[in-house]
């Protein structure tokens, strides 16, 4: 049972669980032929750090992400990438597996999975990308 004033960050005991989650997520992404090309080699570690800081902040931890990068502006930051249903589903598959590997349970798990599903849907932009003239990957 959750304390209504406790954040996910607090319930998970701080940032270490988020580092574990993001590490597990990116191990999956590294092996994914659909998602890996979206992460340039020279910025793979940077992406890992930004996601960790963002998730810590979103789930009630320190505001280091905002201090370093400003407002998250998720749609704007992800718009250069073509994100359709396949990309969304692959991202969610790796994030769900990471939640399992990080052994996140109970109400924090439900809160995180709900947020991840909502955000993944929110970031789908395939139609918008095609209308803007950006290339889209083939749909098998």
Full pLDDT tens readout for the chain, 140 residues = 556 789 999 999 999 999 999 999 999 999 999 999 888 888 888 889 999 999 999 999 999 877 666 665 666 566 677 888 999 999 999 999 999 999 999 999 999 999 999 999 988 987 644 455 555 544 43
What's this model's pTM, rounded to 2 decimal places?
0.81
Length of the chain: 140
Say if residues 10 and 60 touch (Cβ distance below 8 Å): yes
* 82: three-class secondary structure by DSSP: coil
Residue with tokens 């991840």: 116
CATH number of the structural domain 10-131: 1.10.490.10
């Amino acid at each position: 049972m959750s304390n209504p004033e406790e954040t996910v960050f607090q319930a998970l005991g701080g940032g270490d669980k988020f580092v574990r989650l993001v590490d597990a997520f990116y191990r999956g992404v590294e092996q994914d032929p659909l998602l890996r090309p979206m992460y340039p080699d020279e910025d793979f570690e940077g992406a890992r750090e930004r996601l960790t800081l963002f998730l810590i902040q979103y789930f009630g931890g320190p505001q280091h992400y905002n201090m370093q990068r400003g407002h998250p502006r998720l749609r704007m930051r992800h718009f250069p990438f073509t994100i359709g249903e396949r990309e969304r589903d692959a991202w969610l598959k790796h994030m769900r597996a990471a939640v399992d590997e990080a052994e996140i349970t109970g109400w924090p798990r439900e809160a995180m999975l709900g947020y991840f599903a909502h955000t993944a849907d929110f970031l789908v932009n395939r139609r918008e990308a095609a209308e803007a003239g950006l290339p889209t990957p083939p749909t098998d």
